[in-house]
C-alpha cells in the first residue's frame, strides 16, 4: 500500500491556481514588450507577477489588466529612505490597481550574491561563512515596522531575506520573528523581520529529480534542501540554529524563485514545472514564482534557457502543459466548504505524491504525480466510496480526458513523470465522510 486510507479534506482548485506565478527580468530585451508578456501570462493562467518596487507602474498596466493579477515586489538593493523607497511605492500600487493588487513585499535578495546596503552599511557579498547580514537585519526590522504602520498596507505580506544562511553571524534572519528562547542572535528575542520566510527553492544541479519530497529532512535533493539549509537546525553559513525540523512545515513560506532550464530538454523542464507547483501547494507554501517567464538571450547559459517561453514569446513545452493544466482546472472561486474523502492509493514506488482538490461546483480533481522520468508506474486509486463521472486528464496530451467511465469505487491508472488529474463527482457527499 503506497498510501493507506485517510480522511483527506480537499483543497480548493482555485487556491492552487492562485499560488502560481513568475519572476520577471526587468531591463532585458525579453521583457520590453509588456503587451506580449501579458499575453504570455494570460496563456499560463498565472495571477502572480514578480517585479521590482519602484519601477514605472504604467509599464505594468497590460499585465495588471488581467483579472486577479497581483504583484510580488522586491525591495531596492540600496535603501536610504524607507518611506520614499518602500512605503510610498507600495501605496501607489494599491492606489492604482486596488487593495488586492500587492500580494507581498520581498526582502533583500540574496545579499551573498548581490550586494545590498541599508543607509550606507553593506550587506554582502563575500566568501561563504564570512558574510555579515547585520545591515539587512536592521533594514528588515525597520521596513517591516514601516509597512505595518500603514493601514492601507495591512493585507500586504512582507517576506524575509532570501538566502539568510550565507551569513556567518547569527543575525536572526533565519526566522520571521526571533523566538523568545533564541538568545544567541545579534537581534534580540521578539524582533520581527517578516510575515513569511523567503526561499529560493531551485532543484540541485537545476535539473534534478526528485525535486520536492513531502518531508523536510533535507536528506534528498529537493526543494526543501534550501529551506532546511537557510532556516533549519544548522544554518549552512555559520552552523547556528534556526527552526527545528518539526517546526518548519508550519512556518509561513513563499518560494519567490524556483525552476529549472531546458538544457536537458524541454520535456524534463515541463515535467518539473508541472510537478513542482503541485509540490509547493501540497506542502502549504503561500505561493511559488517560477524563474523565469522568458529566456534572456544576453544572459548566461542558464538565463538563455530557463524561461517557460522562448525570448520571442513562443511557448516551450512547459508553458504549453501549464496552459493545458489551467484549462483543465480553471475555476472562479476558492471560498467554499470543500468535501472530505477516505481515499487511498495501492502501489509501491518512491517519489509518488497525490493531492485531493475540489472545484466550487463540487467536482473533485485528484492529482497524482511521480517525480521520475524513468518508465511508467501502475497504481490503483481507491475513492473510499462509489463516485460518478470519472475522467482522467493528462496535461501533456491536451485538455480532453484520456479515459472516462460512468462510475467507479476504484480506478487503475498508469502514470509517468508528470501529474495526472482524475476528475469525479460524489453522488451523496455525506456518505464519503
Is the CB of residue 208 less than 8 Å from the CB of residue 200? Answer: no
Tens digit of pLDDT at every position of the chain (433 positions): 566 767 889 999 999 999 999 998 877 777 888 899 999 999 999 999 999 999 899 999 999 999 999 999 999 999 999 999 999 999 999 999 999 999 999 999 999 888 899 999 998 775 444 677 999 999 999 999 999 999 999 999 999 999 999 898 999 999 999 999 999 999 999 999 999 999 998 875 444 444 444 333 333 334 557 888 899 999 988 899 999 999 999 999 999 999 988 988 999 899 989 999 998 999 899 999 999 999 998 888 888 899 999 999 999 999 999 999 999 999 988 889 999 999 999 986 667 889 999 999 999 999 999 877 677 889 999 999 999 999 999 999 999 999 999 999 999 999 988 999 999 999 876 544 4
CA 132, CA 243: separation in Å to the nearest integer? 20
CA 427, CA 432: separation in Å to the nearest integer? 9
Domain boundaries, the chain: 19-329, 340-432
CATH-assigned architecture of domain 340-432 = Sandwich (2.60)
pLDDT at 24: 84
Compute and round to an integer the Cα radius of gyration of the chain: 22
SS3 359: coil
| β-strand partners of 22 | 49, 290
pLDDT at 50: 96
Q: Give the CATH superfamily of 19-329.
A: Glycosidases (3.20.20.80)
26-50 burial, b at 16+ Cβ within 10 Å, e below that, comes to: eebebbeebebbbebbbbbbbbbbb
CA-to-CA dists, residue 325 to 321, 330, 367, angstroms: 6, 8, 11
CA 166, CA 86: separation in Å to the nearest integer? 25
pLDDT at 113: 87
pTM higher than 0.85: yes
Amino acid at each position: 500500500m503506497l498510501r493507506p486510507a485517510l480522511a483527506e479534506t480537499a483543497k480548493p482548485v482555485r487556491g492552487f491556481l492562485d499560488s502560481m506565478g513568475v519572476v520577471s527580468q526587468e531591463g532585458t530585451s525579453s521583457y520590453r514588450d509588456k503587451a506580449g508578456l501579458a499575453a504570455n501570462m494570460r496563456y499560463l493562467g498565472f495571477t502572480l507577477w514578480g517585479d521590482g518596487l519602484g519601477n514605472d507602474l504604467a509599464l505594468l498596466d497590460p499585465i495588471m489588466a488581467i483579472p486577479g493579477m497581483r504583484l510580488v515586489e522586491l525591495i531596492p538593493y540600496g535603501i536610504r529612505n524607507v518611506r520614499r523607497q518602500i512605503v510610498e511605492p507600495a501605496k501607489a500600487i494599491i492606489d492604482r490597481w486596488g487593495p488586492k493588487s500587492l500580494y507581498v513585499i520581498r526582502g533583500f535578495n540574496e545579499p551573498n550574491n548581490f550586494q545590498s546596503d541599508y543607509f550606507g552599511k553593506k550587506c554582502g557579498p563575500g566568501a561563504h561563512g564570512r558574510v555579515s547580514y547585520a545591515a539587512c537585519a536592521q533594514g528588515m526590522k525597520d521596513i517591516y515596522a514601516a509597512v505595518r504602520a500603514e493601514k492601507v498596507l495591512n493585507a500586504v505580506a512582507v517576506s524575509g531575506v532570501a538566502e539568510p544562511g550565507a551569513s556567518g553571524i547569527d543575525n536572526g534572519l533565519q526566522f520571521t520573528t526571533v523566538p523568545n528562547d533564541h538568545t544567541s542572535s545579534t537581534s534580540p528575542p521578539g524582533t520581527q523581520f517578516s510575515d513569511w520566510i523567503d526561499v529560493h527553492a531551485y532543484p540541485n544541479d537545476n535539473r534534478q529529480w526528485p525535486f520536492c519530497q513531502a518531508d523536510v529532512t533535507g536528506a534528498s535533493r529537493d526543494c526543501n534542501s534550501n529551506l532546511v539549509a537557510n532556516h533549519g537546525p544548522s544554518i549552512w553559513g555559520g552552523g547556528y540554529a534556526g527552526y527545528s525540523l518539526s517546526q518548519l512545515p508550519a512556518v509561513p513560506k513563499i518560494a519567490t524563485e524556483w525552476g529549472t532550464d531546458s538544457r536537458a530538454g524541454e520535456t524534463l523542464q515541463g515535467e518539473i514545472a508541472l510537478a513542482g507547483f503541485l509540490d509547493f501547494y501540497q506542502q502549504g507554501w503561500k505561493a511559488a514564482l517560477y524563474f523565469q517567464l522568458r529566456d534572456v538571450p544576453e544572459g548566461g547559459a542558464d538565463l538563455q534557457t530557463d524561461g517557460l517561453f522562448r525570448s520571442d514569446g513562443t511557448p516551450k513545452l512547459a508553458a504549453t502543459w501549464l496552459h493545458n493544466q489551467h484549462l483543465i482546472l480553471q475555476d472562479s472561486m476558492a471560498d467554499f466548504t470543500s468535501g472530505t474523502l477516505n481515499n487511498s492509493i495501492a502501489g509501491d514506488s518512491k517519489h509518488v505524491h497525490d493531492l485531493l482538490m475540489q472545484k466550487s461546483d463540487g467536482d473533485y480533481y485528484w492529482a497524482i504525480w511521480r517525480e521520475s522520468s524513468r518508465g511508467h508506474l501502475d497504481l490503483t486509486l481507491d475513492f473510499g466510496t462509489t463516485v460518478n463521472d470519472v475522467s482522467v486528464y493528462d496535461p501533456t496530451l491536451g485538455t480532453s480526458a484520456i479515459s472516462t467511465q460512468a462510475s467507479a469505487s476504484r480506478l487503475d491508472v498508469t502514470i509517468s513523470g508528470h501529474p495526472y488529474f482524475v476528475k469525479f463527482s460524489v453522488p451523496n457527499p455525506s456518505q464519503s465522510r
